[in-house]
Amino acid sequence: MKQDKGLLLVLSGPAGVGKGTVCSTLRESDANITYSVSATTRAPREGEVDGVNYYFKTRQAFEDMIAKGELLEWAQYVNNYYGTPLPYVEKSLESGNDIMLEIEVQGAEKVKERYPDGVFIFLMPPSLEELKNRIVNRGTESMDTIHERMTVAKDELDTMDMYDYVVVNDEVESAVERIRAILTAEHCRKDRLIEKYKEQLEAEN
């Protein structure tokens, strides 16, 4: 009997939107989900534990992982590498555990290529919501400011297009609640369930 595969959840969004806070609040809740641990070449900060906060790697070791295709996605920020080790993700999914990646938008695009069936959640700053209100109450801002905000909003929308869900991070608790609801709902999606039932039926007939 084939084990159900776990769901791959990808939480991403613009820098500074609060992905880390939302993700750690989700971890503290009782959501039944595992979390991917990133690999990095940056030095551990005080209190950080290897294999818990990050897998701490030398540049050489990290570049070996890249060469061997052992990273689902990776990027370089401020002279350090950051990436998602593939084996742990694959092992979790195969053993039927849901796994969440909290990554930057560029990384999310790479994951989408490899796992198009993943659940992609775009965490959005409340600014576009605010923007909405500004447009509604128009006339209170200069045309230049509105124009600038529109440009930012349009760039965000272009990135947003590959995501399945958009969660506004207005309050951390309510953002977490919505992500939990998405997880529950995704487990009820017919497309995910029907294959399971069909396999069972065909196996017997």
The contact set with a copy of itself (CB under 8 A) reads: 1, 121-122, 128, 131-132, 135-136, 146, 150, 153-154, 157, 160-161, 163-167, 177-178, 180-182, 184-186, 188-190, 193-194, 197-198, 200-201, 203-205
Question: Tokens representing 44?
Answer: 């551990």
Closest approach of a copy of itself to the CB of residue 73, in Å: 20
Our CB check for a copy of itself shows the closer of 65 and 119 to be 119
20 among the known binding-site residues? yes
19 among the known binding-site residues? yes
Our CB check for a copy of itself shows the closer of 61 and 181 to be 181
Our CB check for a copy of itself shows the closer of 65 and 179 to be 179
Closest approach of a copy of itself to the CB of residue 162, in Å: 9
**What DSSP string describes 118-181?**
SEEEEEE-THHHHHHHHHHTTTSS-HHHHHHHHHHHHHHHHHHTT-SEEEE-SSHHHHHHHHHH
49 among the known binding-site residues? no
Our CB check for a copy of itself shows the closer of 78 and 143 to be 143
Q: How far apart are the first and last CA of the chain?
A: 15
Which stretches does DSSP call E strand in 70-134? 71-77, 80-85, 99-102, 119-124
Closest approach of a copy of itself to the CB of residue 184, in Å: 4
Which stretches does DSSP call E strand in 6-70? 8-12, 34-35, 39-40, 55-56
Its sign, for the CA torsion 138, 141, 144, 149, is: negative
Binding positions for ATP: 13-20
Binding positions: 13-20
